[in-house]
Amino acid sequence: MFLAWRELSFARGRFALMGSVVALIGLLMVLLSGLSVGLVNDGVSGLQKLPVSSFAFQSEVDKTSAFSRSVVDVDVAQQWADRDGVAEATPFGNTLVNTTTDDDVDIDLALFGVEPGSWLAPEATTGAALAGPGEIVLAGTLQDEGVAVGDVVTVDQIGTELEVVGFLDGQHTYGHVDVGYVDLTTWQEVRAGVRPGEPVPDHVHDDATAVAVRFADGADVDLAAADAALGTTSMTLEQSFGASPGYTAEISTLQMIQWFLYVISALVVGAFFTVVTIQRRHEIAVLRAVGASTRYLLRDSLTQSAVLLVGSTVVGVGAGLLLGAGISSSPMPFALEAAPVAAAAAPLVVLGMIGAAIAVLRITRVDPLTALGGYR
Amino acid sequence: MATRTGLEIAGVTLVHGDGESTVTALDDVSLTVAAGEFVAVVGPSGSGKSSLLAVAGGLITPDSGRVRIGDTDLTGLSARRLAEVRRTRIGFVFRSGNLLPSLTAVDQLRLPLTLGRVARPRDPMELLADVGMTHRAHRPDKLSGGERQRVGIARALMTSPDLLLVDEPTAALDRHRSQEVVALLAHEAHANGVATVMVTHDHDVLSHCGTVYRMMDGILEVATD
Ligand SMILES: Nc1ncnc2c1ncn2[C@@H]1O[C@H](COP(=O)(O)OP(=O)(O)OP(=O)(O)O)[C@@H](O)[C@H]1O
Ligand SMILES: [Mg+2]
């Protein structure tokens, strides 16, 4: 530490330059983390808040678009409910629609069709819970856009009118649009494009998107066996997020950017300490000649790298949190949470240390003999 | 102080290079320097002077012969043990001080004490005063060549070494400064009872030295002129 500290303060300009690169990457990490969490919330918060353990979709459905492609028979729900370890299973409908309010405001909705009063039907924190056909319970955030209990939203194209009877607590979104809960029969008719007053074809009331399954507490349900027996394709709730539109692409793009930044940061830090170590070669030769052990030299240099990396990451993350607090209050999908921010910052330090360690290992190759003047 | 042996080199041969092009840098060299004795080694470029210091200082192991500092035999020691011997028993003074750019004069002297435990550490302030340094808080870039060399000498004495190895200490100094620095070395060697070997090209400073040796094509002899 004796030498490490004095060098940090002596060459502070150079170290500050390096530190600011790491700090800026740290700041970007915080913003990316906020954006990731924000996008996840915006993409699947409506699913995250479901009391569901797994979904059973149509067999061999494309897993990346299961919610829009899958059709299952409502009777399968009862068969699922009879499986070992399953507490409850009911049909679940999910479809995206465009609607218009009384006030001519266009609202895109993810219509979730559930049986009123079932375990899957949500509680309303404002107004009443879903009671029957022709009603809708909306995500709480829509209240901010001026929608109120008693309003009527009309489904575009087919003209189905839905009366707003209540609102859920806070944000419920799916595929970046707000969620509205309707009675399963209403959902089936909207999905089939049946206009109000028209006769409903026979099969319409047989279809749902999937069977929502809740496991008994602590039960370990063999999904593969159940799928084989009942002709379905199951995904756990977490897996089903990937079936939300754009979810997988968004998350993997952000993760890729994040990993690029880690690698860039580790390379920049490695290159910096390589140059520093090469510049110090004569100095290191002198230190070794006067008896400094390899351990002493490595410890000193690694302490220096650690101070630089941790210090600048803390500064960068701090700046990112300040900036992020500003963005959080804007309509951007952005949410800062402690765990994801820490998880984003930690690899910056760890990978930076690996880069620095590889660079600093050069110390072991410096021959103390070169400290003697004119000696080759 | 009785005649403690500082350095004893006996029949040392050092061959550089391998295969076809080999250079015999040291050819059956023997040299004994008593504690408190100050000897000089002169000789043309490439004659093997630095090689002699490298062997004496445990920086390189000779092909044959023995090197002893006090009662410690250096031949056969591991690289780690050699570093330990250099740290505790030997002081090095290099060509132009070779101070660390980030350290102030007084920190240059503290540095050897941070490398590990030392049996008889000196007081940095006292030692700086001994070598006539007043700019204690200055870094090397603010020191003159002579001042740098004084700090370099003081640093080498911090651990109370048994052996002081000095490589061309006046290479970067003018005549007057050279005299001062070598006089200081001679004084410190006697005052602290350190066996001192100084390699130099500078014949004007030899009056400060005890025995003067001449190196010629790897062969060491007492200089006659
Ligand atoms: N690492 C090495 N590999 C091969 N040959 C070497 C090496 N180091 C030194 N030599 C050779 O050994 C001989 C002695 O070199 P040394 O550096 O000891 O001479 P010197 O007397 O110190 O010279 P100078 O006064 O120029 O410093 C020279 O011929 C030199 O070319
Ligand atoms: Mg030389």
Question: What pLDDT does residue B171 have?
Answer: 83
Residue of B nearest to A367 (CA): B59
* Structural contact between residues B84 and B58, judged by C-beta atoms closer than 8 angstroms: no
Question: What pLDDT does residue A42 have?
Answer: 86
Same domain, A91 and A36: no
Question: What pLDDT does residue B225 have?
Answer: 65
Q: With a 6 A CB cut-off, is B200 part of the ligand 1 pocket?
A: no
Residue whose C-alpha is closest to residue B49's, from B14, B73, B8, B77 = B14
Residue of B nearest to A297 (CA): B115
Same domain, A135 and A178: yes
Q: Is residue A206 part of a domain?
A: yes
Give A313→chain B minimum CA distance, Å: 25
Is A6 within 8 Å of B102 when comparing Cβ atoms? Answer: yes
Same domain, A83 and A177: yes
Partner-chain residue, chosen from A11, A287, A292, that has the shortest CB–CB distance to B102:
A11
* Structural contact between residues A168 and A97, judged by C-beta atoms closer than 8 angstroms: no
- Residue A59 token pair: 């067999």
- Residue B170 token pair: 């006046």
Give the DSSP per-residue string, B146-201.
HHHHHHHHHHHHTT--SEEEEE-TTTTS-HHHHHHHHHHHHHHHHHHT-EEEEE-S
Nearest CA to ligand 1 atom 16: B48
Same domain, A135 and A193: yes
* Structural contact between residues B200 and B40, judged by C-beta atoms closer than 8 angstroms: yes
Question: What pLDDT does residue B1 have?
Answer: 43
For domain B5-95+161-222, the CATH class is alpha beta
* Structural contact between residues B26 and B52, judged by C-beta atoms closer than 8 angstroms: yes
Same domain, A102 and A143: yes
User: From the CA of B112, how far away is ligand 2's center (Å)?
Assistant: 24
Nearest CA to ligand 1 atom 24: B45
pTM score over 0.90: no
Q: With a 6 A CB cut-off, is B44 part of the ligand 1 pocket?
A: no
Same domain, A15 and A63: no
Question: What pLDDT does residue A374 have?
Answer: 57
Same domain, A264 and A172: no
Instruction: Kindly report, residue by residue over B19-77, the tens digit of the pLDDT.
Output: 788 899 999 999 999 999 999 999 999 999 999 999 999 999 999 999 999 889 998 89
Q: Each residue's pLDDT tens digit in chain A (376 positions)?
A: 899 999 999 999 999 999 999 999 999 999 998 988 888 888 899 999 999 999 999 999 988 889 999 999 999 999 999 999 999 999 999 999 999 998 898 999 999 999 999 999 999 999 999 999 999 999 999 998 889 999 999 999 999 999 999 999 989 999 999 999 999 999 999 999 999 888 989 889 999 999 999 999 988 889 999 999 999 999 999 999 998 888 888 889 988 998 999 999 999 999 999 999 999 999 999 999 999 999 999 999 999 999 999 999 999 999 999 999 888 877 777 888 888 889 989 999 999 999 999 999 999 999 999 888 655 4
Residue whose C-alpha is closest to residue A337's, from A49, A36, A47 = A36
Same domain, A208 and A275: no
Q: Show the domain range for A320.
A: 2-44+248-373
Which element (helix H / strand E) includes B83? helix B79-89
Q: Is residue A241 part of a domain?
A: no
Question: What pLDDT does residue A15 have?
Answer: 95
What residues have CB less than 8 Å from A182, skipping those under 6 apart?
Answer: A111, A112, A113, A114, A130, A135, A136, A162, A190
H helix and E strand count, chain B: 6, 10
Q: Is residue A229 part of a domain?
A: no
Is A291 within 8 Å of B80 when comparing Cβ atoms? Answer: no
Residue whose C-alpha is closest to residue A122's, from A182, A75, A163 = A182
Same domain, A162 and A139: yes
Same domain, A273 and A177: no
pLDDT beyond 70 at B2: no
Q: Is residue A236 part of a domain?
A: no
Same domain, A132 and A270: no
Same domain, A192 and A62: yes
Could you tell which of B14, B49, B53, B216 is best to mutate to test the pocket of ligand 1, judged by most ligand atoms within 8 Å of the CB? B49
* Structural contact between residues B188 and B30, judged by C-beta atoms closer than 8 angstroms: no
Instruction: Kindly report, residue by residue over B64-98, the tens digit of the pLDDT.
Output: 999 999 889 998 899 999 999 999 999 999 887 68
Helix, strand, coil % over all residues of chain A, rounded to 5 = 55, 20, 30
Residue whose C-alpha is closest to residue A177's, from A138, A144, A149, A150 = A138
* Structural contact between residues B6 and B163, judged by C-beta atoms closer than 8 angstroms: yes
Instruction: Give the residues across from A154 on adjacent strands.
Output: A100, A161
Residue A363: its chain B contacts at CB < 8 A? Answer: none
* Structural contact between residues B121 and B194, judged by C-beta atoms closer than 8 angstroms: no
Q: Number of structural domains, chain A?
A: 2
* ipTM attached to this prediction: 0.93
A106-114 and A177-183: which strand pairing?
Answer: parallel
Residue whose C-alpha is closest to residue A115's, from A188, A164, A201 = A188
